[in-house]
Structure 1
Amino acid sequence: MPETITTEATTPDVVQHEQAETPLESLASICTVLAIGLFVMTFIFQNFEIPSASMVKTLLIGDHVLVDRISLAPPAKWAPFTFYRDVQRGDIIVFFKPGEPDLFLVKRTIGIPGDRIHLRNGIVYLNGVAQNEPYAGMPANDDNPQHAFDPYRDDFPAVPPDNYGNVTASWGYELPSHVQDGDLIVPPGKVFAMGDNRTESLDGRYWGFVPRENIVGRPLFVYWSFQTPADQINKQSIGDRLSFMGHILIHIFDQTRWSRTFHLIK
């Protein structure tokens, strides 16, 4: 009768016990995550809320957008793998307002250095060619006086800016030196930007060119959009802010514009 061959484990099972994480190690892990998140949200991406109607229909009041801070930044030797490019016509850009370094604005790039620009009845002519801009709000004969034809705004730069409404004093003085044969000439190192909602946008027509170094980045997409009153931007007191935060909590589901979630900006 053949013998039965049995097998037997020659080493016992090893049971490993996980060592509990110390409070110091937990704190270090949290700090690492926060540091990485802070770096990403400071140098790579940044979130902004749209507070006004100057970019309607492209951007609505209450849109929260994620801004790419890398692609339009000056190239860095420490990150050669990162894609960089210069500002192009049509780019929507976020930038510090000239003369007000603490104020962010978002507008569309209309002209880059060397471009010749003028408007006639609200239509942009770029280097002599009328532009097709279906997203742009134009003067209209309706009941809104804001939409009525305005000679300075809609035939820019045909009308001198002397003592004209919202034109800054510095731009009123500087503007004539950049006009040749009825065209505004964009100088080196700067771009000319306007809001898409042309009849309601205080843009380059009123305060001038955007220096290249003022440009922070370009918005990529809307990550959340909430129906926000147009006058909310003027309610800056602590009470008003707390009241609106409570309003958001109550109406976050029925007043969120769900159709705009992850809406690409272009």
Structure 2
Amino acid sequence: MSAPASIRTQPPLPHAHRLLLPTPSDAFALLLRTLVVGLFLLTFLLQPYLIPSESMERTLLIGDFLLVNKQILAPSDALSRTLLPYREVQRGDIVVFHHPRPPLLIKRVAGIPGDHIRVDDGHLSVNGLRIFEPWAAFEPTSYNPARDVFPGTVYSDPNVSPDWWHKLPTLVQNGELVVPPGQYFVLGDNRNHSEDSRFWGLVPRDAIIARPMLIYFSVRRPSSTDVEQPSDDKLGHDRELTAKLTGFARWERIFRVVR
């Protein structure tokens, strides 16, 4: 009777190639670290916002979800400025800021401290020069002297804050608003449908808290101010299932950088 054939066994895998499952304590520690990093980003650096109105069209549409940088423009001490990116507010920046009604607004900075501001027929001039604003939209609407000519001389719009109207003459020189230190003049990009510094005044530096970075999602919502909506702002009417599944969002706006 022949001897049984020997059974060959594979040598054990080297330690470096073994698949090790994390222990419950390791998994919990990883989850905890992820939560801490996420909370840190949302608390100190990044925060999501939803655009609810038409005042920043066409740059920002109703239904855009924004991720904003809370650190780059936020007032901070010397230590945090050293550790994290920081710069001063610049003309042309889109900023999120505290405001009494509603508590948060988003507009574009049109004037910084020391600037001489004037608006003629809705068009902005700074320090005597007409500013080229490729982002500004001028949708057809009726003439409004409080909106189209600034600074005005006649109180003609009940939407203009009485406090701002009484303060405005103290800041006007030669028919131009002179932006005082620590204050900023802001406008909506949808120039004919925005209540902004023309209506309620200047924004203090310490009220500015963030700058938008990108649109991370966008849900289709109609705009009440559009006479003729752009193609990416119309509600779809296709009854096909595919259109219903894909038409609720503006996919082409996702991850668009805000400028």
Give the TM-score range, shorter chain.
0.7 to 0.9
Partner residue, 2:233? none
User: 1:37 corresponds to which residue?
Assistant: 38
The amino acid of 1:92's aligned partner reads I
The runs of 4+ residues in structure 1 deviating greater than 6 Å are 12-17
Residue-by-residue CA offset, 1:181-213 (whole Å, 9 max, x unaligned): 110111111101010001100111111000100
Number of the residue aligned with 1:138: 138
TM-score (norm 1): 0.77
Superposition pairs of residues 104-123 of structure 1, within 5 angstroms: 104-123=104-123
Q: What amino acid sits opposite 1:221 in the alignment?
A: L
8 Å contact from structure 1 (residues 55, 197) kept in 2:
yes
- Check 1:39–1:179 CA distance in 2 against 1; reply closer, same or farther (3 A cut): same
SS in 1 for 2:34: helix
Equivalents in 2 of 1:149, 1:129: separation in Å? Answer: 23
What whole-Å deviation, never above 9, does each CA across 1:6-63 have from its counterpart, x for those lacking one?
A: xxxxxx98878958634x6654443332121011011111111111000001111111
Matched, 1:124 2:124: yes
Unpaired runs of 5+ residues, structure 2, are: 1-11, 225-242
Other-structure match for 1:155 = 149
Give yes or no for the alignment of 1:222 onto 2:224. no
Assess if the C-alpha contact under 8 Å between 1:138 and 1:199 holds in 2: yes
| RMSD (Å) for aligned C-alpha atoms | 2.5
Paired residue for 2:96? Answer: 94
Report the identity percentage. Answer: 40
State the 1:230 CA deviation.
4.2
C-alpha deviation, 1:229, in angstroms: 3.6
CA shift for structure 1 position 68: 0.9
Matched positions, count: 227
Question: Is the Cα–Cα contact under 8 Å of residues 72 and 84 in structure 1 kept in the other structure?
Answer: yes
* Cα distance change on mapping 1:218 and 1:74 into 2, 3 Å: same
1:88-120 per-position Cα deviation (integer Å, ceiling 9, x unaligned): 0000111111x34x7111100000001000111
Alpha-carbon distance between aligned partners in 2 of 1:120 and 1:20, rounded to the nearest angstrom:
67
2:73 corresponds in structure 1 to: 72
Q: What 5-or-longer segments of structure 1 have no aligned partner?
A: 1-11, 141-146, 232-249
Paired residues of 1:171 and 1:208 also in contact (CA < 8 A)? yes
CA drift of 1:167 comes to 1.3
